[in-house]
Amino acid sequence: MLPICLGEATKFSQYLLDSDKRYRVIARLGQRTDTSDADGQIVQERPVTFSAEQLAAALETFRGDIEQIPSMYSALKYQGKKLYEYARQGIEVPREARPITVYELLFIRHEGDELELEVHCSKGTLHSHHYR
């Protein structure tokens, strides 16, 4: 869902932007792309196998307060320019780790090479990069 604020409601839009978020994420396992998301070119593929216990342990490492380094393909700015603009030119710039919180991370399903999760997190959490 994408909330749209019109007229007087725009005064409250910052409350929506600053709020926690909930996402349904489908991760493709064993693939890495050049942009860290589904739109990029696949640069690495490998088979991934794991047990239910290994999956539970791995998911636990993503819960709670975490420091996350933003992807070069994010819209965050560095010296007034969006990071993805640098990335498209093949330039990598320094990025500071940012504090995020994953309040809840629920396993929904695992089918083939896809893993579906539901995430309740703080604003600013970058999912495509986070779950590599």
Which sequence spans correspond to the domains of the chain? 19-130
SS (H, E, C) the chain: CCCCCCHHHHHHHHHHHHCCEEEEEEEECCEEECCCCCCCCEEEECCCCCCHHHHHHHHHCCCEEEEECCCCCCCCEECCEEHHHHHHCCCCCCCCCEEEEEEEEEEEEEECCEEEEEEEECCCCCHHHHCC
- CATH number for region 19-130: 3.30.2350.10
The encoded tokens of residue 74 equal 């994010």
Bigger pLDDT: 129 or 120?
A: 120
Q: In the predicted model, what is the mean pLDDT of residues 73-100?
A: 93
Residue holding tokens 């809840």?
A: 104
pLDDT band at 130 (very low <50, low <70, confident <90, very high): very low
Query: Which tops the pLDDT comparison, 126 or 100?
Result: 100
What gap in Å lies between CA 118 and CA 25, rounded to an integer? 6
18 vs 56, 122, 125, CA distance in Å?
A: 29, 8, 12
Closest-CA residue to 105 (of 31, 49, 22):
22
Nearest Cα neighbor of 25 from 125, 130, 115, 126 is: 115
- Whether 68 has a pLDDT exceeding 50, the answer reads yes
The structure's pTM equals: 0.75
